[in-house]
Structure 1
Amino acid sequence: MRILLSAYACKPGVGSEPGVGWRWAMHLAKTHDVIVLTHERFRNDIEPALNNFPGPRPRFVFHETRLLRRVPFNSITALPKYIIWQLSVLPTAIRLIGEARYDVIMHLTMGTFRYPSWLGFLGVPFVFGPAGGGERAPMRFFHGLPVRERLVEFARTALIVSGKFDPLLWIAHSRARLIFARTEQTRQALPFFLRNRVVIRQEIGSDPTADKREPAARLPEEPLRLVMGARLLGWKGVHIAIETMAVLRTRGVCATLDVFGQGHLQEWLTGKLRGLGLDDCVRLRGYVPFEEMQQHMRSAHCFLFPSLHDSGGTVVLEAFGNGLPVVCLDLGGPKDFVTRESGRVVGTAGRGIGEVARALADEIEDLNRDDALRRKLAAGALARGRELSWVNQMDGAMRLINGVLDTSTGSDVVEMER
């Protein structure tokens, strides 16, 4: 099969969206003829990695809008540059289609339903996703955060709702034979007449290390070492993690929390830690490279992730791959990864921040008190990681795509998945 893969974000050796683009491109190239459309800014990372990669490789076509080449990439320009890229890449895609016959065009990154791809208009069967972005959390979980965070969340909710009434979004997504949504909330955020071609599917996977090990040992008097990987933003739930640690301290539980990630709430969260007297047991460690993050996970005892609306949560699967039980909330995509054998999912219905923090503390206290339980869940995390491996996730998606391509339309994809 010849595949034109649109992966605006694509970079080796990293996580998140760029890592997704790279992993899919390299895996699909093992059994298919793959041409990848990606942004020019990833060229210097991709080309050296390709030169050292054994076996079949995809062909990369780098594109940047000429007028925006001198515009820096940052949090302000990222979205406009992406939207313009999706339009300006069309002539390049048309040229590629004119040079060879393609069996399918796949849009992979960026994976958000609100900003569609226009590659479905090129006369080739089109698959969109997996995409998220329709996940929401109750506004009560943003109580106490800076006003800016609450305003941003309110605006985001309005944007999600507006998707059901956006004719451009309707038109673009209607060209897809198959739409992969990361969660049911994203599926419900789409117009009703598109939902029969939506399948719930995650694009991310776990990468369990080849040299499997025992869970990190814990000495009798050693603190329970918790770790969290998240940007320091309101919706990532770091403030809830801090409240959880405050509850644990009042109960006399000996635990530490290392938070890896950066963001504009760094100063606010630091002040909150000082105010609660937790700066001796909760450390905001900032950004660390991917491999270093894996090392920190391997030496920890539990992964705490009270994110409020992550559509996936790559870091959760990374935790599984490192044998870490995960404690998360029943919001967004992470809840679909975590089972009773690999961690704990805390319910949020009818609860505020304080009640959720106490419920999270209950689960962590169980792990602190019962090390046999912790080790059992750690083994379950490794097993869950193998089940949700990158290879299994990607191959499962390709089976669905092949099934849709074998039919005349994508109207029955939901029934096929069932």
Structure 2
Amino acid sequence: MKKRILISAYAISPVRGSEYGAAWNTVMHLSTQHELWVLYGMSDDHMGDTQTMLEYIKNNRIKNVHFVEVRANKLAMAINMLNKIGLGWFFYFAYYLWQKAALAAAFEICKTVDIDVVHQLGPIGFREPGFLWQLNKPMVWGPIGGMNIIDKRFLAVKPLFTRLKFGVKNIINHLQLNYSARIKTAFEQVDVLMAATTAGQQTIWEKFGIESCYLSEQGIIGNIIFDESKFDTICKQVQMVWSGSLIERKNLALCLEALSGITQKNWVLHVMGSGPLSKKLQQKAKDLNLVNNIKWHGHLSRTEALSTMSFAHLHIITSMAEDNPAVIFEALTFSIPTLTIDHCGMGDVICPKCGIKIKSADYNSMVTDMRKELIVVLNNPSMLMNLAQTTTLCAEEHSWEKRLYKLNNMYNKAIQVHGQRFNSSLIYPTLTV
């Protein structure tokens, strides 16, 4: 049944990927079945940067969607200046104030609209849950992520600054999950919780004693594509792709070291992305004698990145910590199997039918295991075509048709749980289709 849904999606954009794109795709697909009021605060680089959304809304009418820009106050914008110059943790202080403004905007909407369900959609991080539960409406929160503790074995070979940075983050996660009264209250007040990973589900149960549903924040975009013609030349050259920011967390060095011990030369790795480690990683590739087999594309537009991705036979991801990176689902969309470490959201999404998983272990063991898997693939490239065919089937599990079915069940459950929780006989009205 068609519902009136109030959604908080701080970062949203029709032209960006990652969390911006995840929120946009969720809103667009939900709008085919429900009427939405969407609170947002950013569509470009920083808090208050909403030019892209304002221009899009001006030139495009979106049926069943009412976008409501929530402007942060002057104090929030002043605090966020520290985030802009690289002091990232100050963002959360500014974001806290934005959430206060979002609650005020939500109360105004509820004065004139009989909202059926509230959905705290994004960003997915657990540490800033917002205040929309104070509306006393049936509420869903999620997908919730960011709760993972980075394996210390991954950090052993990283620079001191990186080890300190992630060590501090691990400590902060531990403190907030165990001792933050506001976070605990939010988890307890929400009617339905949605975890972005199965590890997140386990953490929510262990820390708060509450059951949650599992649903990744990303899904398949558009139609699933299987291009059989790209395998015509696979025996001559296997096209591999790695995509992400060139930062320590994305861990491209692991992929380079795994490739360095391979004697076969029937491959090329397309590296899409830029970042502070660009020069260092390119020099590392040179030192490992990989220069002739790697193409550095730098930062690409979303359209260019998807075009490059579409020609690949194998996608590789080496991140130390993620929830569900968009690139996993982009690979699934093009029926491209993924080689990944078996952890985080990648471990949930990728199975033997759509990829190759290596055991999470110490750094040197993972280099060795990844190298072994790559050697098997390069000795028998045709196996990637067979894997691509079954990847197509796995991709169907993440289609928006199935995701909408799950979301609708969660909304219905939230209404039911909310009524039971407050011993209310109130029946929340629905719109006719």
CA distance in 2, matches of 1:149, 1:339: 30
CA distance in 1, matches of 2:408, 2:49: 25
**Residue 385 of structure 1 corresponds to which residue in structure 2?**
395
Deviation readout 1:211-246 (Å, 9 max, x if unpaired): 643262252663322101111222222111111111
State the shift of 1:116 in Å. 1.3
- 1:35 matched to 2:37: yes
- 1:299 matched to 2:316: no
CA distance in 1, matches of 2:199, 2:60: 38
- Aligned with 2:382: secondary structure? helix
Change in Cα spacing, 1:331 to 1:221, as seen in structure 2 (3 Å) is: closer
CA distance in 2, matches of 1:301, 1:405: 45
Q: Percent identity?
A: 21
**Residue 45 of structure 2 corresponds to which residue in structure 1?**
none
User: Which residue, out of 336, 341, 349, partners 1:337?
Assistant: 349
Q: Given that residues 325 and 377 in structure 1 are in contact (C-alpha distance below 8 angstroms), is that contact kept between their aligned partners in structure 2?
A: yes
**Residue 362 of structure 1 corresponds to which residue in structure 2?**
372
**Residue 280 of structure 2 corresponds to which residue in structure 1?**
268
Change in Cα spacing, 1:195 to 1:318, as seen in structure 2 (3 Å) is: farther
Q: Given that residues 177 and 197 in structure 1 are in contact (C-alpha distance below 8 angstroms), is that contact kept between their aligned partners in structure 2?
A: no
**Residue 397 of structure 1 corresponds to which residue in structure 2?**
407
**Residue 109 of structure 2 corresponds to which residue in structure 1?**
96
CA distance in 2, matches of 1:203, 1:410: 27
- 5+ residue gaps, structure 2: 43-47, 423-433
TM-score, normalised relative to structure 2: 0.87
- 1:170 matched to 2:180: no
CA distance in 2, matches of 1:147, 1:192: 31
State the shift of 1:196 in Å. 2.4
CA distance in 2, matches of 1:306, 1:356: 10
- 1:60 matched to 2:67: yes
CA distance in 2, matches of 1:283, 1:211: 24
**Residue 245 of structure 1 corresponds to which residue in structure 2?**
259
Change in Cα spacing, 1:136 to 1:279, as seen in structure 2 (3 Å) is: farther
Deviation readout 1:8-45 (Å, 9 max, x if unpaired): 01100221101111111121122111000001546432
CA distance in 2, matches of 1:143, 1:218: 42
Q: Given that residues 148 and 200 in structure 2 are in contact (C-alpha distance below 8 angstroms), is that contact kept between their aligned partners in structure 1?
A: yes
CA distance in 1, matches of 2:290, 2:96: 42
- 5+ residue gaps, structure 1: 412-418
User: Which residue, out of 1, 4, 9, partners 1:2?
Assistant: 4
Deviation readout 1:42-86 (Å, 9 max, x if unpaired): 643234444665762310000121304576573535444323211
Q: Given that residues 203 and 394 in structure 1 are in contact (C-alpha distance below 8 angstroms), is that contact kept between their aligned partners in structure 2?
A: no
**Residue 416 of structure 2 corresponds to which residue in structure 1?**
406
**Residue 130 of structure 1 corresponds to which residue in structure 2?**
143
Deviation readout 1:76-124 (Å, 9 max, x if unpaired): 3544432321122221111111222111110111001122111111111
Amino acid across the alignment from 2:371: A
Amino acid across the alignment from 2:157: G
User: Which residue, out of 277, 301, 317, partners 2:289?
Assistant: 277
**Residue 414 of structure 1 corresponds to which residue in structure 2?**
none
**Residue 87 of structure 2 corresponds to which residue in structure 1?**
76
TM-score, normalised relative to structure 1: 0.90
State the shift of 1:345 in Å. 1.0
- Aligned with 1:187: secondary structure? helix
Deviation readout 1:317-349 (Å, 9 max, x if unpaired): 10011121111011101111112111111112x
**Residue 151 of structure 1 corresponds to which residue in structure 2?**
164
